[in-house]
């Protein structure tokens, strides 16, 4: 399969490696990953603020999200779940 004049595709790791040999496709992929990580990170920060989760607990999640994407998001979900159990709801 050919994408924008570049060999490769998404069916196997070697195909992905060949696909990203094209510098323009590599740039597009890199921007996509950065944008996704930044979007998820901004959601984590807003969600934590709304839930009253200590920002010091969120910082490692944000770093992990930026560096490793889904692993940071899963870490945040764990922190969020744990914080939900430890923070008692405000009295009515």
Tens of pLDDT, residue by residue over 52-73, are 999 999 999 999 998 888 899 9
Domains identified in the chain, total number: 1
| Digit-coded pLDDT (tens) for 8-38 | 777 788 887 887 888 888 888 888 888 888 9
Any domain includes 61: yes
Any domain includes 7: yes
Tell me which residue range forms the domain holding 70.
2-84
CA distances to 9, 12, 19 from 6, in Å: 9, 15, 6
Any domain includes 15: yes
Neighbours of 80 (CB within 10 A): 17
pTM: 0.66
């Amino acid at each position: 399969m050919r994408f924008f004049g570049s060999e490769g595709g998404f069916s196997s790791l070697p195909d992905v490696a060949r696909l990203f040999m094209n510098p323009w496709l590599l740039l597009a992929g890199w921007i996509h990953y950065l944008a996704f990580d930044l979007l998820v990170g901004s959601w984590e920060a807003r969600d934590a603020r709304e839930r009253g989760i200590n920002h010091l607990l969120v910082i490692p999640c944000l770093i992990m999200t930026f560096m490793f994407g889904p692993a940071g998001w899963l870490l945040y979900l764990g922190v969020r779940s744990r914080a939900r159990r430890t923070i008692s709801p405000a009295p009515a």
